Amino acid sequence: MSLYAHELNVGLCFGICGLGLLSKYRVSKSVQSPNISFVLESIPSPYTMGDPCGSSSGPAISVAANMAAVSLGTETDGSILCPSSNNLVVGIKPTVGLTSRAGVIPISPRQDTVGPICRTVADAVYVLDAIVGIDHYDNATIEISQHIPKGGYAQFLKADGLQAKRVGIVRDPFYNFGNDTIVTQTVDQHLKTLRKQGTILVDNLKLANLVEIYRSSDEGTALAAEFKIYINAYLKELVASPVRSLAGLIAFNKKNSKLEMLEEYGQDQFVEAEATNGIGNAEKAALANLAKLTREGFVKLMTKNKLDALVTPRSSASFLLAIGGFPGVIVPAGYDSDGVPFGLSFGGLKGSEPKLIEIAYGFEQATKIRKPPKFKF
């Protein structure tokens, strides 16, 4: 896709899409940053008036509240899947490089991806078809374009998409719901529905290195260095901007501390990133370990068990998908004991969007969980 075509598609999209803005700086500014829309400020989930999750909170809220037909979110780790879950909408996190990131504020080209957030799987897939393709302003799209099926993705919207699919279940820790019997019962019923629709559930699987994956600080180490490199490049390329570097951005925030709410939320992650000095030995070791954890963890699990997808409640496995650049689709699944919505997520290996779409659409059509919010304040 040329940059012009990309801009045209986005321009046309904004005619029907909500300009649902992301949580400020996609939650890269501070670990204390709230999940709010940048312009609309503290806007909650329309279902519970609670945490909408982030950082693509604006896109998810606008679609969930019926203020927009479709929207786009960006994800580095969980930022499409989590708000989609909390706002009872459909989110597609594409394989990294399947959609162009040109013009998107970067954190890490290794993990950043742009995807649709919509009310139905079909709507999300139609948007996905419109935004995938080669963009010479994003080299990652050239290599990944080989995974785009001839005829697009809409052909995989099959009501019988669950038939004969092999779907894996890792119970611990993804299915530990504590005392919430409603979530437990709801998820159990959904698993029965998957079986009834012809899905082969491969249950009680183990991720051999799961503890090591979740204890690892390597993602944070890598992202901090990558963010400084790529945000500096991004800011330098802007036609007009009051700042041209991360250091300048930190200084700008200090100068405008009340507007930027530094006293409340700080900018610790900006400061941490600014203290890095490129991809040195520590960062190279972190990246190598992330690749090893992915290879010996999620990839091995999927290939050894010949899985089409891993199914998890909410966005609990987003980290596994993030560090490997893998795709995921989340579909409305129900509500917990407090009335908070949650979704069921299907994740797969790179380029597995066709099978994930078949599974997600089949599940959606068999359950039809989503209902509009009632806006109870």
pLDDT of residue 214: 80
Considering the domain architecture, whether residues 149 and 96 belong to the same structural domain is answered as: yes
Considering the domain architecture, whether residues 359 and 267 belong to the same structural domain is answered as: no
- The number of distinct structural domains making up the chain is 2
Considering the domain architecture, whether residues 86 and 17 belong to the same structural domain is answered as: yes
Residue 295 lies in a domain: no
Considering the domain architecture, whether residues 321 and 260 belong to the same structural domain is answered as: no
Residue 377 lies in a domain: no
Considering the domain architecture, whether residues 111 and 244 belong to the same structural domain is answered as: no
Considering the domain architecture, whether residues 19 and 103 belong to the same structural domain is answered as: yes
Residue 109 lies in a domain: yes
pLDDT tens string for the chain (377 positions)?
333 233 333 333 433 444 444 444 444 555 445 544 444 445 777 788 667 776 777 888 899 999 999 999 999 999 999 999 999 999 999 999 999 999 999 999 999 999 999 999 999 999 999 999 999 999 999 999 999 999 999 999 999 999 999 999 999 999 999 888 999 999 999 999 999 999 999 999 999 888 888 888 899 999 999 999 999 999 999 999 999 999 999 999 999 999 988 988 899 999 999 999 999 999 999 999 999 999 999 999 999 999 999 999 999 999 999 999 999 999 999 999 989 999 999 999 999 999 999 999 999 999 999 998 886 54
Residue 69 lies in a domain: yes
Considering the domain architecture, whether residues 94 and 59 belong to the same structural domain is answered as: yes
Residue 349 lies in a domain: yes
pLDDT of residue 39: 45
Residue 348 lies in a domain: yes
Considering the domain architecture, whether residues 248 and 315 belong to the same structural domain is answered as: no
Give the structural domain span for 271.
218-285
Residue 373 lies in a domain: no
Considering the domain architecture, whether residues 276 and 347 belong to the same structural domain is answered as: no
Q: What is the 3-state secondary structure (H, E, C) of the chain?
A: CCHHHHHHHHHHHCCCECCCCCCHHHHCCCCCCCCCECCCECCCCCCCCCCCCCCCHHHHHHHHCCCCCEEEEEECCCCCHHHHHHCCCEEEECCCCCECCCCCCCCCCCCCEEEEEECCHHHHHHHHHHHECCECCECHHHHHHHHCCCCCCHHHCCCCCCCCCEEECCHHHHCCCCCCHHHHHHHHHHHHHHHHCCCEEECCCCCCCHHHHHHCCHHHHHHHHHHHHHHHHHHHHCCCCCCCCHHHHHHHHHHCCCCCCHHHHCCHHHHHHHCCCCCCHHHHHHHHHHHHHHHHHHHHHHHHCCCCEEEEECCCCHHHHHHHCCCEEEEEEEECCCCCEEEEEEECCCCCHHHHHHHHHHHHHHHCCCCCCCCCC
Residue 110 lies in a domain: yes
pLDDT of residue 58: 81
Considering the domain architecture, whether residues 316 and 280 belong to the same structural domain is answered as: no
pLDDT of residue 375: 66
Considering the domain architecture, whether residues 19 and 121 belong to the same structural domain is answered as: yes
pLDDT of residue 197: 98
pLDDT of residue 29: 55
CATH of the domain at 79: 3.90.1300.10
pLDDT of residue 135: 98
Domain-terminating residue out of 246, 268, 285: 285
Considering the domain architecture, whether residues 40 and 129 belong to the same structural domain is answered as: yes
